[in-house]
Amino acid sequence: MSFTRRKFLAVALAAGAAPLFAQEPPALLPAAKGRRVVVVGGGWGGLSAARHLRALAPELEVVLLERNSAFFSMPLSNKWLAGLVDEKLLTHDTRAAAQAHGYTFIQAEVTALDRERRRVHTAQGTVDYDWLVLAVGIRHDYAAWFGDDRRAIDEARARFACAWTPGGEFRALQARLDNFKGGDLVMTIPPPPYRCQLAPYERALVIAHLFKSRAVPGRLTLLDPNPPPQRFADVFEEQYKGQIQVVPHARVKSVDPFAKTIATEFDDIRFDEAILMPPQQAGDLAWQAGLIGRDKDGKPTGWAAQDPLHLHALGDERVFLVGDLIDRASPLFGHYPKSGHLAAHLGRIAAQEIAARARGVAPEALLPESRCFVTTRMEPQESMRVDTQYRVRGDGLIVQTTKQNFDPNPRGEDVEWAKGMFGELFG
Ligand SMILES: Cc1cc2nc3c(=O)[nH]c(=O)nc-3n(C[C@H](O)[C@H](O)[C@H](O)COP(=O)(O)OP(=O)(O)OC[C@H]3O[C@@H](n4cnc5c(N)ncnc54)[C@H](O)[C@@H]3O)c2cc1C
Protein backbone atom coordinates (compact mmCIF):
# COMPACT_ATOMS: atom_id res chain seq x y z
CA MET A 1 0.00 0.00 0.00
CA SER A 2 1.43 3.37 -0.95
CA PHE A 3 0.79 5.80 1.87
CA THR A 4 -0.88 8.89 0.47
CA ARG A 5 -1.60 11.61 3.01
CA ARG A 6 -5.33 10.81 2.96
CA LYS A 7 -4.74 7.11 3.66
CA PHE A 8 -2.25 7.97 6.36
CA LEU A 9 -4.76 10.30 8.06
CA ALA A 10 -7.45 7.62 7.84
CA VAL A 11 -5.16 5.04 9.41
CA ALA A 12 -3.88 7.42 12.05
CA LEU A 13 -7.43 8.55 12.97
CA ALA A 14 -8.62 4.93 13.08
CA ALA A 15 -5.79 4.32 15.53
CA GLY A 16 -7.18 7.07 17.77
CA ALA A 17 -4.37 9.53 17.05
CA ALA A 18 -5.03 13.22 16.48
CA PRO A 19 -2.44 13.90 13.80
CA LEU A 20 -3.31 17.48 13.01
CA PHE A 21 -3.08 18.87 16.53
CA ALA A 22 -1.03 16.56 18.68
CA GLN A 23 2.56 17.38 19.59
CA GLU A 24 3.56 13.75 19.07
CA PRO A 25 3.98 12.68 15.46
CA PRO A 26 1.02 10.50 14.41
CA ALA A 27 1.15 6.70 14.34
CA LEU A 28 1.36 5.36 10.79
CA LEU A 29 -0.41 2.10 11.67
CA PRO A 30 -3.03 1.07 14.24
CA ALA A 31 -1.47 -0.40 17.41
CA ALA A 32 -0.28 -3.95 16.72
CA LYS A 33 -2.68 -6.68 17.93
CA GLY A 34 0.23 -8.89 18.86
CA ARG A 35 3.93 -8.20 18.60
CA ARG A 36 5.45 -6.36 15.69
CA VAL A 37 8.77 -6.56 13.87
CA VAL A 38 9.72 -3.51 11.82
CA VAL A 39 12.27 -4.05 9.06
CA VAL A 40 13.97 -0.86 7.83
CA GLY A 41 15.47 -1.20 4.35
CA GLY A 42 14.06 -3.33 1.53
CA GLY A 43 17.32 -4.46 -0.08
CA TRP A 44 18.81 -7.96 -0.03
CA GLY A 45 19.02 -8.18 3.76
CA GLY A 46 15.70 -6.55 4.68
CA LEU A 47 13.58 -8.38 2.08
CA SER A 48 15.04 -11.68 3.22
CA ALA A 49 14.39 -10.90 6.91
CA ALA A 50 10.75 -9.88 6.20
CA ARG A 51 10.07 -12.94 4.07
CA HIS A 52 11.58 -15.43 6.54
CA LEU A 53 9.93 -13.79 9.54
CA ARG A 54 6.52 -14.43 7.98
CA ALA A 55 7.40 -18.07 7.36
CA LEU A 56 9.07 -18.72 10.73
CA ALA A 57 6.87 -16.64 13.02
CA PRO A 58 3.43 -16.18 11.42
CA GLU A 59 2.09 -14.89 14.76
CA LEU A 60 4.25 -11.73 14.46
CA GLU A 61 3.17 -8.68 12.47
CA VAL A 62 5.91 -7.74 10.01
CA VAL A 63 6.22 -4.23 8.54
CA LEU A 64 8.83 -3.31 5.93
CA LEU A 65 9.77 0.37 5.51
CA GLU A 66 11.70 1.26 2.35
CA ARG A 67 12.21 4.55 0.56
CA ASN A 68 12.08 3.15 -3.01
CA SER A 69 8.95 1.60 -4.52
CA ALA A 70 10.89 -0.91 -6.60
CA PHE A 71 13.95 -3.06 -6.03
CA PHE A 72 16.85 -2.85 -8.48
CA SER A 73 19.53 -5.55 -8.22
CA MET A 74 23.12 -4.35 -8.04
CA PRO A 75 24.34 -7.91 -8.63
CA LEU A 76 24.38 -8.24 -12.46
CA SER A 77 24.09 -4.44 -12.86
CA ASN A 78 27.53 -4.30 -14.54
CA LYS A 79 26.30 -6.79 -17.13
CA TRP A 80 23.16 -4.67 -17.52
CA LEU A 81 25.40 -1.62 -18.22
CA ALA A 82 27.06 -3.70 -20.94
CA GLY A 83 23.64 -4.60 -22.39
CA LEU A 84 24.10 -8.29 -21.52
CA VAL A 85 21.11 -8.72 -19.22
CA ASP A 86 17.59 -7.40 -19.47
CA GLU A 87 16.47 -4.76 -16.97
CA LYS A 88 13.35 -6.87 -16.29
CA LEU A 89 15.51 -9.49 -14.61
CA LEU A 90 16.90 -6.90 -12.18
CA THR A 91 13.79 -4.87 -11.33
CA HIS A 92 11.17 -6.17 -8.90
CA ASP A 93 8.09 -4.71 -7.26
CA THR A 94 8.46 -4.58 -3.48
CA ARG A 95 4.69 -4.29 -2.98
CA ALA A 96 4.19 -7.55 -4.88
CA ALA A 97 6.81 -9.24 -2.64
CA ALA A 98 4.91 -8.04 0.45
CA GLN A 99 1.65 -9.42 -0.95
CA ALA A 100 3.24 -12.74 -1.91
CA HIS A 101 4.74 -13.27 1.55
CA GLY A 102 2.05 -11.58 3.66
CA TYR A 103 3.83 -8.64 5.29
CA THR A 104 3.00 -4.93 5.21
CA PHE A 105 5.07 -2.66 2.97
CA ILE A 106 5.11 1.08 3.53
CA GLN A 107 7.10 3.19 1.11
CA ALA A 108 8.69 5.77 3.41
CA GLU A 109 11.96 7.46 4.23
CA VAL A 110 12.87 6.58 7.80
CA THR A 111 14.22 9.71 9.46
CA ALA A 112 15.13 8.48 12.94
CA LEU A 113 15.09 5.54 15.35
CA ASP A 114 14.09 6.03 18.98
CA ARG A 115 15.49 2.89 20.59
CA GLU A 116 14.32 3.86 24.08
CA ARG A 117 10.68 4.00 22.99
CA ARG A 118 11.15 1.33 20.31
CA ARG A 119 9.79 3.71 17.72
CA VAL A 120 10.69 4.39 14.09
CA HIS A 121 10.10 7.91 12.74
CA THR A 122 9.27 8.59 9.11
CA ALA A 123 8.27 11.80 7.36
CA GLN A 124 4.64 10.57 7.46
CA GLY A 125 4.50 9.33 11.05
CA THR A 126 5.83 6.73 13.46
CA VAL A 127 5.74 2.94 13.76
CA ASP A 128 6.37 1.17 17.08
CA TYR A 129 8.22 -2.13 17.23
CA ASP A 130 8.92 -5.05 19.53
CA TRP A 131 11.94 -5.99 17.42
CA LEU A 132 13.68 -3.99 14.74
CA VAL A 133 15.74 -5.27 11.82
CA LEU A 134 18.01 -2.53 10.51
CA ALA A 135 19.14 -3.27 6.95
CA VAL A 136 19.85 0.14 5.43
CA GLY A 137 23.09 -0.77 3.64
CA ILE A 138 25.88 1.74 3.18
CA ARG A 139 26.46 5.46 2.77
CA HIS A 140 29.25 7.24 0.92
CA ASP A 141 31.59 9.20 3.19
CA TYR A 142 31.94 12.30 1.00
CA ALA A 143 33.08 14.21 4.09
CA ALA A 144 36.39 12.30 3.88
CA TRP A 145 37.11 14.30 0.70
CA PHE A 146 35.06 17.47 1.11
CA GLY A 147 34.65 18.04 4.88
CA ASP A 148 31.44 20.01 5.30
CA ASP A 149 31.63 21.69 1.85
CA ARG A 150 28.00 21.01 0.89
CA ARG A 151 28.38 22.57 -2.56
CA ALA A 152 31.22 20.20 -3.51
CA ILE A 153 29.37 17.17 -2.10
CA ASP A 154 26.21 18.05 -4.07
CA GLU A 155 28.24 18.60 -7.26
CA ALA A 156 30.11 15.28 -6.92
CA ARG A 157 26.88 13.42 -6.20
CA ALA A 158 24.91 15.09 -8.99
CA ARG A 159 27.53 14.84 -11.76
CA PHE A 160 29.88 11.98 -10.90
CA ALA A 161 27.85 9.57 -8.75
CA CYS A 162 29.22 6.04 -8.58
CA ALA A 163 25.93 4.06 -8.69
CA TRP A 164 26.83 1.83 -5.73
CA THR A 165 23.54 2.15 -3.80
CA PRO A 166 20.02 1.31 -5.06
CA GLY A 167 18.14 4.14 -6.77
CA GLY A 168 18.33 6.38 -9.81
CA GLU A 169 22.13 6.55 -10.03
CA PHE A 170 22.35 3.41 -12.18
CA ARG A 171 20.24 4.87 -14.99
CA ALA A 172 22.14 8.17 -14.72
CA LEU A 173 25.45 6.31 -15.05
CA GLN A 174 24.18 4.39 -18.06
CA ALA A 175 23.21 7.72 -19.70
CA ARG A 176 26.62 9.23 -18.88
CA LEU A 177 28.41 6.26 -20.45
CA ASP A 178 26.13 6.42 -23.51
CA ASN A 179 26.89 10.14 -23.92
CA PHE A 180 30.64 9.84 -23.35
CA LYS A 181 32.27 10.65 -26.67
CA GLY A 182 35.91 10.35 -25.60
CA GLY A 183 38.56 11.70 -23.24
CA ASP A 184 39.61 10.77 -19.73
CA LEU A 185 37.26 8.89 -17.46
CA VAL A 186 38.53 8.35 -13.93
CA MET A 187 37.12 5.83 -11.47
CA THR A 188 38.19 5.91 -7.84
CA ILE A 189 38.09 2.67 -5.87
CA PRO A 190 37.51 3.12 -2.13
CA PRO A 191 39.72 1.71 0.59
CA PRO A 192 38.36 -1.60 1.97
CA PRO A 193 35.99 -2.63 3.33
CA TYR A 194 33.51 -1.78 0.62
CA ARG A 195 30.51 -3.39 -1.02
CA CYS A 196 31.32 -6.26 -3.41
CA GLN A 197 35.09 -6.16 -3.58
CA LEU A 198 35.52 -7.33 -7.19
CA ALA A 199 32.68 -5.30 -8.70
CA PRO A 200 34.76 -2.14 -9.43
CA TYR A 201 37.13 -4.22 -11.60
CA GLU A 202 34.21 -5.89 -13.35
CA ARG A 203 32.78 -2.43 -14.03
CA ALA A 204 36.14 -1.26 -15.39
CA LEU A 205 36.12 -4.23 -17.75
CA VAL A 206 32.61 -3.36 -18.94
CA ILE A 207 33.54 0.27 -19.56
CA ALA A 208 36.69 -0.63 -21.50
CA HIS A 209 34.65 -3.13 -23.51
CA LEU A 210 32.09 -0.40 -24.31
CA PHE A 211 34.87 1.99 -25.41
CA LYS A 212 36.33 -0.69 -27.68
CA SER A 213 33.07 -1.98 -29.16
CA ARG A 214 31.70 1.56 -29.71
CA ALA A 215 35.03 2.91 -30.98
CA VAL A 216 34.99 5.64 -28.33
CA PRO A 217 38.45 7.26 -28.01
CA GLY A 218 38.30 7.08 -24.23
CA ARG A 219 40.74 6.08 -21.54
CA LEU A 220 39.66 4.77 -18.14
CA THR A 221 42.03 5.47 -15.26
CA LEU A 222 41.50 3.40 -12.12
CA LEU A 223 42.76 5.03 -8.93
CA ASP A 224 43.11 2.03 -6.67
CA PRO A 225 44.38 2.05 -3.07
CA ASN A 226 45.36 -1.61 -3.66
CA PRO A 227 46.95 -3.44 -6.57
CA PRO A 228 44.15 -4.89 -8.75
CA PRO A 229 43.45 -8.66 -8.52
CA GLN A 230 45.84 -10.58 -10.80
CA ARG A 231 43.24 -11.98 -13.21
CA PHE A 232 41.89 -8.50 -13.92
CA ALA A 233 45.39 -7.00 -14.21
CA ASP A 234 46.22 -9.67 -16.84
CA VAL A 235 43.07 -9.10 -18.89
CA PHE A 236 43.43 -5.29 -18.70
CA GLU A 237 46.98 -5.70 -20.03
CA GLU A 238 46.16 -8.28 -22.73
CA GLN A 239 42.94 -6.82 -24.11
CA TYR A 240 42.59 -3.15 -23.11
CA LYS A 241 46.09 -1.69 -23.08
CA GLY A 242 44.91 1.54 -24.68
CA GLN A 243 41.63 1.70 -22.79
CA ILE A 244 42.54 1.06 -19.12
CA GLN A 245 45.29 2.53 -17.02
CA VAL A 246 45.59 1.34 -13.42
CA VAL A 247 47.25 3.49 -10.80
CA PRO A 248 47.85 1.13 -7.85
CA HIS A 249 48.43 2.28 -4.26
CA ALA A 250 46.67 5.53 -5.14
CA ARG A 251 44.98 7.15 -2.16
CA VAL A 252 42.71 10.05 -3.04
CA LYS A 253 43.69 13.11 -1.01
CA SER A 254 41.24 15.63 -2.43
CA VAL A 255 38.79 16.07 -5.28
CA ASP A 256 37.65 19.23 -7.04
CA PRO A 257 34.43 18.33 -8.86
CA PHE A 258 34.20 21.83 -10.42
CA ALA A 259 37.74 21.92 -11.86
CA LYS A 260 37.51 18.14 -12.50
CA THR A 261 40.75 17.24 -10.77
CA ILE A 262 41.78 14.62 -8.23
CA ALA A 263 44.89 14.88 -6.08
CA THR A 264 46.55 11.66 -4.91
CA GLU A 265 49.69 11.37 -2.79
CA PHE A 266 51.76 11.24 -6.00
CA ASP A 267 49.92 13.09 -8.71
CA ASP A 268 47.18 15.49 -9.80
CA ILE A 269 44.81 13.92 -12.30
CA ARG A 270 42.43 15.77 -14.57
CA PHE A 271 39.28 14.14 -15.90
CA ASP A 272 36.49 14.74 -18.41
CA GLU A 273 34.13 12.25 -16.78
CA ALA A 274 34.36 10.38 -13.49
CA ILE A 275 32.86 7.67 -11.32
CA LEU A 276 33.70 8.98 -7.88
CA MET A 277 33.50 6.36 -5.17
CA PRO A 278 34.34 7.80 -1.75
CA PRO A 279 35.07 5.59 1.28
CA GLN A 280 32.03 3.63 2.45
CA GLN A 281 30.38 3.40 5.87
CA ALA A 282 27.21 2.03 7.47
CA GLY A 283 24.05 3.85 6.35
CA ASP A 284 22.91 7.10 8.04
CA LEU A 285 20.37 5.54 10.42
CA ALA A 286 23.02 3.39 12.10
CA TRP A 287 24.84 6.63 12.97
CA GLN A 288 21.69 8.48 14.06
CA ALA A 289 20.72 5.56 16.34
CA GLY A 290 24.14 5.41 18.02
CA LEU A 291 24.93 1.92 16.70
CA ILE A 292 28.41 2.54 15.29
CA GLY A 293 31.28 0.55 16.78
CA ARG A 294 34.44 2.06 18.29
CA ASP A 295 38.02 0.97 17.74
CA LYS A 296 40.53 0.48 20.54
CA ASP A 297 41.30 4.22 20.53
CA GLY A 298 37.61 5.06 20.89
CA LYS A 299 37.23 6.30 17.29
CA PRO A 300 34.11 5.31 15.28
CA THR A 301 34.82 2.27 13.09
CA GLY A 302 32.26 3.50 10.55
CA TRP A 303 30.21 0.28 10.80
CA ALA A 304 27.36 -0.92 13.03
CA ALA A 305 28.63 -3.09 15.92
CA GLN A 306 26.83 -6.42 16.26
CA ASP A 307 27.04 -9.56 18.33
CA PRO A 308 28.78 -11.72 15.71
CA LEU A 309 26.86 -14.91 16.56
CA HIS A 310 23.36 -13.49 17.22
CA LEU A 311 23.39 -10.31 15.09
CA HIS A 312 21.75 -8.02 17.63
CA ALA A 313 23.24 -4.58 18.20
CA LEU A 314 25.73 -4.44 21.05
CA GLY A 315 23.77 -3.51 24.17
CA ASP A 316 20.33 -3.73 22.48
CA GLU A 317 18.78 -7.15 21.90
CA ARG A 318 15.68 -5.57 20.34
CA VAL A 319 17.65 -4.35 17.32
CA PHE A 320 19.12 -6.76 14.73
CA LEU A 321 21.70 -5.62 12.20
CA VAL A 322 21.66 -7.20 8.78
CA GLY A 323 23.64 -6.75 5.56
CA ASP A 324 26.44 -4.48 4.45
CA LEU A 325 26.14 -2.06 7.38
CA ILE A 326 27.68 -4.44 9.95
CA ASP A 327 31.11 -4.15 11.52
CA ARG A 328 33.87 -6.78 11.63
CA ALA A 329 32.64 -10.32 12.24
CA SER A 330 35.93 -11.76 13.48
CA PRO A 331 39.47 -10.62 14.32
CA LEU A 332 40.66 -13.51 12.11
CA PHE A 333 39.43 -12.04 8.81
CA GLY A 334 37.67 -8.76 9.64
CA HIS A 335 34.46 -8.05 7.73
CA TYR A 336 32.18 -10.55 6.04
CA PRO A 337 32.16 -9.96 2.27
CA LYS A 338 29.62 -7.21 1.64
CA SER A 339 27.54 -9.24 -0.80
CA GLY A 340 23.84 -9.61 -1.54
CA HIS A 341 24.03 -13.36 -1.00
CA LEU A 342 25.51 -12.90 2.46
CA ALA A 343 23.08 -10.07 3.33
CA ALA A 344 20.14 -12.36 2.45
CA HIS A 345 21.59 -15.09 4.69
CA LEU A 346 21.97 -12.62 7.55
CA GLY A 347 18.32 -11.60 7.01
CA ARG A 348 17.26 -15.21 7.40
CA ILE A 349 19.41 -15.66 10.52
CA ALA A 350 17.96 -12.50 12.11
CA ALA A 351 14.46 -13.85 11.35
CA GLN A 352 15.34 -17.15 13.07
CA GLU A 353 16.72 -15.26 16.07
CA ILE A 354 13.58 -13.14 16.44
CA ALA A 355 11.25 -16.11 15.90
CA ALA A 356 13.05 -18.05 18.66
CA ARG A 357 12.98 -15.10 21.07
CA ALA A 358 9.27 -14.54 20.36
CA ARG A 359 8.62 -18.17 21.38
CA GLY A 360 10.80 -17.74 24.47
CA VAL A 361 13.42 -20.27 23.39
CA ALA A 362 17.18 -19.77 23.20
CA PRO A 363 18.16 -18.93 19.62
CA GLU A 364 20.67 -21.22 17.92
CA ALA A 365 23.86 -19.49 16.70
CA LEU A 366 23.88 -19.71 12.89
CA LEU A 367 26.46 -18.47 10.41
CA PRO A 368 25.97 -17.11 6.88
CA GLU A 369 27.70 -17.98 3.62
CA SER A 370 28.46 -15.97 0.50
CA ARG A 371 28.56 -16.72 -3.21
CA CYS A 372 29.57 -14.16 -5.83
CA PHE A 373 29.85 -14.41 -9.60
CA VAL A 374 32.06 -11.90 -11.36
CA THR A 375 32.88 -11.51 -15.04
CA THR A 376 36.67 -11.52 -15.47
CA ARG A 377 36.77 -11.33 -19.30
CA MET A 378 34.19 -10.04 -21.76
CA GLU A 379 35.40 -11.61 -25.02
CA PRO A 380 35.37 -14.56 -24.92
CA GLN A 381 33.43 -14.53 -21.68
CA GLU A 382 35.12 -15.88 -18.58
CA SER A 383 33.84 -15.68 -15.05
CA MET A 384 34.85 -16.43 -11.51
CA ARG A 385 32.76 -17.77 -8.63
CA VAL A 386 33.83 -16.90 -5.11
CA ASP A 387 32.35 -19.07 -2.34
CA THR A 388 32.91 -18.16 1.28
CA GLN A 389 31.96 -20.32 4.26
CA TYR A 390 32.21 -19.91 8.02
CA ARG A 391 32.53 -21.98 11.17
CA VAL A 392 33.10 -21.25 14.82
CA ARG A 393 36.50 -22.30 16.17
CA GLY A 394 37.01 -23.87 19.61
CA ASP A 395 37.81 -20.46 21.12
CA GLY A 396 34.52 -19.02 19.82
CA LEU A 397 36.00 -16.99 16.95
CA ILE A 398 34.53 -17.22 13.45
CA VAL A 399 36.83 -18.71 10.79
CA GLN A 400 36.47 -18.00 7.06
CA THR A 401 37.22 -20.32 4.13
CA THR A 402 37.22 -18.89 0.61
CA LYS A 403 37.28 -20.79 -2.68
CA GLN A 404 37.67 -19.21 -6.12
CA ASN A 405 36.66 -21.10 -9.27
CA PHE A 406 37.46 -19.81 -12.75
CA ASP A 407 34.97 -20.74 -15.42
CA PRO A 408 36.40 -20.27 -18.95
CA ASN A 409 33.06 -21.20 -20.46
CA PRO A 410 30.22 -19.73 -18.37
CA ARG A 411 26.70 -20.75 -19.33
CA GLY A 412 24.59 -18.27 -17.41
CA GLU A 413 25.24 -19.63 -13.88
CA ASP A 414 25.18 -16.05 -12.53
CA VAL A 415 21.73 -15.43 -14.02
CA GLU A 416 20.46 -18.74 -12.60
CA TRP A 417 21.85 -17.80 -9.18
CA ALA A 418 20.10 -14.40 -9.37
CA LYS A 419 16.79 -15.97 -10.42
CA GLY A 420 17.01 -18.34 -7.43
CA MET A 421 17.62 -15.41 -5.06
CA PHE A 422 14.84 -13.29 -6.57
CA GLY A 423 12.49 -16.28 -6.32
CA GLU A 424 13.23 -16.44 -2.60
CA LEU A 425 12.90 -12.69 -1.98
CA PHE A 426 9.91 -11.92 -4.21
CA GLY A 427 7.94 -15.18 -4.31
C1 LIG B 1 28.01 -2.98 -8.95
C2 LIG B 1 27.71 -3.97 -7.87
C3 LIG B 1 27.74 -5.34 -8.16
C4 LIG B 1 27.45 -6.27 -7.15
N5 LIG B 1 27.49 -7.61 -7.46
C6 LIG B 1 27.15 -8.52 -6.51
C7 LIG B 1 27.11 -9.90 -6.84
O8 LIG B 1 27.39 -10.33 -7.97
N9 LIG B 1 26.73 -10.78 -5.87
C10 LIG B 1 26.41 -10.36 -4.60
O11 LIG B 1 26.04 -11.20 -3.76
N12 LIG B 1 26.48 -9.04 -4.26
C13 LIG B 1 26.83 -8.12 -5.18
N14 LIG B 1 26.85 -6.78 -4.85
C15 LIG B 1 26.68 -6.37 -3.45
C16 LIG B 1 25.21 -6.29 -3.03
O17 LIG B 1 24.48 -5.46 -3.88
C18 LIG B 1 25.12 -5.75 -1.61
O19 LIG B 1 25.99 -6.50 -0.80
C20 LIG B 1 23.71 -5.84 -1.09
O21 LIG B 1 22.90 -4.93 -1.78
C22 LIG B 1 23.66 -5.54 0.41
O23 LIG B 1 22.34 -5.63 0.86
P24 LIG B 1 21.81 -4.68 2.03
O25 LIG B 1 20.42 -5.15 2.32
O26 LIG B 1 22.79 -4.61 3.13
O27 LIG B 1 21.81 -3.22 1.39
P28 LIG B 1 20.98 -2.66 0.15
O29 LIG B 1 20.71 -3.72 -0.85
O30 LIG B 1 21.67 -1.41 -0.28
O31 LIG B 1 19.58 -2.27 0.79
C32 LIG B 1 19.43 -1.22 1.69
C33 LIG B 1 18.04 -0.63 1.50
O34 LIG B 1 17.74 0.28 2.54
C35 LIG B 1 17.05 1.39 1.99
N36 LIG B 1 17.22 2.52 2.89
C37 LIG B 1 18.39 3.07 3.30
N38 LIG B 1 18.14 4.08 4.15
C39 LIG B 1 16.81 4.18 4.27
C40 LIG B 1 15.95 5.05 5.01
N41 LIG B 1 16.45 6.02 5.80
N42 LIG B 1 14.61 4.89 4.91
C43 LIG B 1 14.09 3.91 4.10
N44 LIG B 1 14.86 3.06 3.38
C45 LIG B 1 16.20 3.19 3.48
C46 LIG B 1 17.69 1.59 0.63
O47 LIG B 1 16.85 2.30 -0.26
C48 LIG B 1 17.92 0.14 0.18
O49 LIG B 1 16.85 -0.37 -0.59
C50 LIG B 1 27.12 -5.83 -5.85
C51 LIG B 1 27.08 -4.45 -5.57
C52 LIG B 1 27.37 -3.54 -6.57
C53 LIG B 1 27.31 -2.06 -6.24
Q: Could you read off the pLDDT of 214-231 as tens digits, one per residue?
A: 999 999 999 999 989 999
Task: Please tell me the distance from the alpha carbon of residue 228 to that of residue 247, in angstroms, as a whole number.
Answer: 9
Residue 209 lies in a domain: yes
- CB of 386 within 6 A of ligand 1: the answer is no
What is the pLDDT of the chain when averaged over all its residues?
94
In the reported structure, the alpha carbon of residue 100 is separated from the centroid of ligand 1 by a whole-number distance in angstroms of 21
Of 175, 336, 194, 202, nearest to 279 by C-alpha is 194
What's the confidence (pLDDT) of residue 2?
Answer: 37
Whether residue 350 has its Cβ less than 6 Å from ligand 1: no
**Where among 219, 246, 279 does a domain terminate?**
279
Q: Has residue 200 been placed in a domain?
A: yes
Nearest CA to ligand 1 atom 23: 44
SS3 (DSSP) at 282? strand
Q: Is residue 373 part of a domain?
A: no
Same domain, 95 and 157: no
Q: Per the domain annotation, does 213 fall within a domain? A: yes
> For 263-384, where are the alpha helices, taking DSSP H only?
284-288, 340-359
Residue 13 lies in a domain: no
45 CB within 6 A, ligand 1: yes
The pLDDT tens digits for 244-303 are 999 999 999 999 999 999 999 999 999 999 999 999 999 999 999 999 999 999 999 999
How far does residue 283's CA lie from ligand 1's centre (Å)?
10
Query: By the 8 A CB rule, do 285 and 136 touch?
Result: yes
84 and 161 belong to one structural domain: no
Task: Let me know whether 314 and 246 are in one domain.
Answer: no
For 54-65, the pLDDT digits (tens) are 999 999 999 999
Confidence tier at 11 by pLDDT (50, 70, 90): very low
Secondary structure E strands in 154-247: 183-188, 218-223, 244-247
Residue 403, strand partner residues: 387
Does 398 fall in a domain? Answer: no
Model confidence at 66: pLDDT above 50: yes
Quick check: 406 pLDDT over 70? yes
Confidence band of 18 (pLDDT split at 50, 70, 90)? very low
CA 90, distance to chain mean position in Å, is 15
Establish whether residue 193 lines the binding site of ligand 1, counting it when its CB lies within 6 angstroms of any ligand atom: no
- End-of-domain residue from the set 236, 260, 279: 279
Tally of domains in the chain: 2
Beginning with the edge strand found earlier in the chain, give each strand of the sheet holding 261-264 in spatial order: 252-256, 261-264, 268-270
| Protein residue with its CA nearest to atom 31 in ligand 1 | 43
**Biggest CA-to-CA distance, the chain:** 69
Asked if residue 116 and residue 208 are part of one domain, the reply reads no
Q: Are residues 295 and 202 in the same domain?
A: no
CB 210 within 8 A of CB 216: yes
120 lines ligand 1 (CB under 6 A): no
Question: Which of 64, 324, 424 for a ligand 1 pocket mutation test, highest count of atoms within 8 Å of Cβ?
Answer: 324
Q: For residue 11, tell me if it sits in a domain.
A: no
CA of residue 379 to ligand 1 center, whole Å = 28
378-388: average pLDDT: 97
Do residues 76 and 166 share a domain? no
Residue 135 in contact with ligand 1 by CB distance below 6 A? yes
> Hey, is 254 helix, strand or coil?
strand
Pocket flag, ligand 1, residue 67 (CB < 6 Å): yes
Q: Are residues 163 and 267 in the same domain?
A: yes
Provide the domain limits for residue 269: 146-279
Residues 275 and 298 in one domain: no
Q: Do 249 and 198 share a structural domain? A: yes
CATH number, domain with residue 272: 3.50.50.60
Same domain, 254 and 210: yes
Statement: residue 19 has pLDDT above 90: no
286 pocket-lining for ligand 1 (C-beta < 6 Å): no
Residue 361 pLDDT greater than 90, yes or no? yes
Contact 82, 90 (CB under 8 A): no
- The pLDDT-based confidence of 391 (bands split at 50, 70, 90) is very high
* Lateral strand order in the sheet of 273-275: 244-247, 218-223, 183-188, 273-275
CB of 228 shorter than 6 A to ligand 1: no
The pTM (predicted TM-score) of the whole model is: 0.94
Contact assessment for residue 144 and residue 299, using Cβ atoms and an 8 Å cutoff: no
Residue 8 pLDDT grade (very low, low, confident, very high; cuts 50, 70, 90): very low
Residue 74 CA to ligand 1 centre (angstroms): 7
- pLDDT of the residue at 344: 98
Residue whose CB lies within 8 A of the most ligand 1 atoms, among 40, 44, 165, for a mutation test: 44
Q: Is the bond into 380 cis (omega within 30 degrees of 0)?
A: yes
Domain co-membership, 161 together with 75: no
Ligand 1 centroid to residue 43 C-alpha, Å: 5
Res 373: pLDDT: 98
Q: What is the pLDDT of residues 111-142, one digit of tens each?
A: 999 999 999 999 999 999 999 999 999 999 99
In this prediction, residue 166 has a pLDDT band, given cuts at 50, 70 and 90, of very high
With cut-offs at 50, 70 and 90, classify the pLDDT of residue 24: confident
Q: Would 206 be classed as within a structural domain? A: yes
Show which of 237, 257, 279 is a domain's final residue.
Answer: 279
Same domain flag for 274 and 287: no
